[in-house]
Amino acid sequence: MRVNLHETWHIGPVEIPSRLVLAPMAGVSVQAFRRQGRRFGAGLVCSEMVSCAGLQHGNERTLGYLRIAADERPLAVQIFGSDPVVMADAAAMVEEAGADIVDINFGCPVKKVTKTGAGATLLDEPDRACRVVEAVASAVSVPVTVKLRRGLENGSRACLSVGPRLVDAGAASLTLHPRSAKQMYTGAADHALTAELVSLVDVPVVASGDITSRARAHAVLAATGAAAVMVGRAAQGNPWALQEILEGDGVEPSREEVVAELVLFMRETVRELGEHRATGFLKKFYGWYLGRGRFPRAFKAELTQLATISEVEGRLLAAVPGARFVLSRLEETLPQADEVLLDLPISIYGGG
């Protein structure tokens, strides 16, 4: 049966207005990225993973700031760690700050995270994983969700034994990326596992991995019975991918639209992160936005060599003057700065 991607669904009491979820991605999922994702149709957006130890200690070397704006909700804030008490305390801080959902990361494959006993490592420690979920669920009144991989090793089926136990411990939804931690992002996501997990639990399951088109989204939803799909890398510098999945509109954006969205993203990122941190953070986005044959490679390389963001903006608008008019219309749709609801420290290292 073909799923209506515009149909609302729920995680606990939280209503989500489309079946499309924008993934939490470290070094990517800043507020500007999330707000953009909501504008292009994502029903739920997620913060990058927040270090519970960082929240506890306020370590400035690993913390930036998360702001929740009215136009990005509903929002899930994702936390990671391995100590149930610390995780529960961090979850309570996240709820108090205003997040709609607390998501727990049991999927990150990056060594600097797994070596601490967090992320995907917890799939090999199901008892501890369940204690973490139980502690977090007991500490907050908002829904608690879990993002997990299939397991640590290739061919692992750990998610099928651990997943139902996490639900029993208090998880209101599960997101499965059916690659192993060892695979990282190589090979293909095995959504046969997603279908098996759906059959084992009575909460919504979100299918993550290789969702790159409307056809693929429908195929995965039909084959798995999942409640929604999660889009990650396909949306990096390409919010039009979300629109294509929801609407079937595969029309390539104009150069004016591309530049306007990039400049808006740059301005919003500077507002959030500050000029200094944003300068390095944004460099990867130039290639993501301007790639896919949209602009010459030499132009993308030129932008990364410019010293300031204002120089980058000036070069972009000089190259495509008509983008100014598109940008002006976009900025008129955004809420004013006083609609920001929250400042909260957020981890900026690792990812999964």
The single residue of 46, 52, 108, 130 carrying the catalytic annotation is 108
Q: 132 with 87: CB under 8 angstroms? A: yes
Q: Which residues of 91-101 are buried (b: 16+ CB within 10 A; e: fewer)?
A: bbbbbebebbb
Burial group, residue 338, by CB count within 10 angstroms (0-12, 13-18, 19+)? exposed
The DSSP letter of residue 23 is P
User: CA quadruple 39, 90, 172, 217: dihedral positive or negative?
Assistant: positive
- In whole angstroms, how far apart are CA 314 and each of 33, 293, 324? 21, 21, 11
206 beta partners: 175, 228
Residue (of 185, 55, 175, 50) closest to 110 by Cα position: 185
Cis peptide before 74 (omega within 30 of 0): yes
106 beta partners: 148
What is the C-alpha separation between 301 and 283, in angstroms, rounded? 10
Pairing status of strand 205-208 against strand 228-231: parallel
Structure tokens at 348: 């900026």
Active site residue 52: no
Residue (of 120, 103, 129, 118) closest to 185 by Cα position: 120
What is the C-alpha separation between 302 and 321, in angstroms, rounded? 18
Structure tokens at 271: 């507002």
Catalytic residues: 108
